[in-house]
Amino acid sequence: MKITPILLLAALGLSACRYSQPAVDQPSAIFKDTLTYNYQTINQRAADCGNKPDSACTAVNLKYPVFLKASPF
């Protein structure tokens, strides 16, 4: 008895099915960020840059959060 490739692929495909597993529960509520903050940015170039492109000049670009009010737990 010779098993054909189509029969083998069908058997493998059906064995991969998972009908008995329950669906994954999604969270009932979406959580909001409770912290109050603003973003602070710093953009500076070296003093000797002049009109040089950024690849020939030292540059700093930072963006970070500043928390306005800490809430007690």
Q: What is the pLDDT of residues 20-50, one digit of tens each?
A: 666 666 666 667 767 788 999 999 888 888 7
pLDDT of residue 34: 74
- CB within 8 Å of 21: residues ≥ 6 apart: none
Over the chain, what is the mean pLDDT? 76
